[in-house]
Amino acid sequence: MKINDILHIVEGFKNRSLPEEEWTHEAHLITALCLLNEHGLEKAEEIMPGLIRDFNTAKGGVNSSTEGYHHTITIFYLRVIEKFRLNNKDLSIETQVGRLLTTELAKPYFTLNYYSKERLFTAEARLGLVAPDLQGY
């Protein structure tokens, strides 16, 4: 993926101009990687939740205990992408994104290797951080 495509996604997400249909699973991952490169894990965990909630609201979505922003999934992906990033930090962002999108963690249901559906798809997990029940990360 070219830098202009990456910037289109990340900047469009941040300023809420990205079309809703372009806010895909891959776009979430790309944005997380870029925020981690820019801010590190601690700060990314602070700012990503608000950015997602704001984006959802701007597009007419609802953030509740049943839909919209999901805290456990967001923090999970930030943490596993951070491990990926640290192993690839000397590469360009284009190369990092290309590699990230070919890994297992880019698959939409990667979280289910760590969380059962019964645990992940609860109001508790959506609204707060719950520990994985299948294996640690």
In a domain, 52, yes or no: yes
- For residue 137, pLDDT over 90 is answered with no
| pLDDT at position 73 | 98
Domain-embedded: residue 115: yes
Number of domains in the chain: 1
Q: Is 137 within the bounds of a domain? A: no
* In-domain check, residue 71: yes
pLDDT at 48 over 90: yes
Dist CA 120 CA 4 (whole Å): 34
Residue 132 lies in a domain: no
Q: What is the pLDDT of residue 132?
A: 98
User: The domain containing residue 122 runs over which residues?
Assistant: 3-127
Q: Is residue 136 part of a domain?
A: no
Does a structural domain hold residue 135? no
Tokens 């963690």 correspond to 105
CA nearest neighbour of 9 among 81, 49, 22: 22
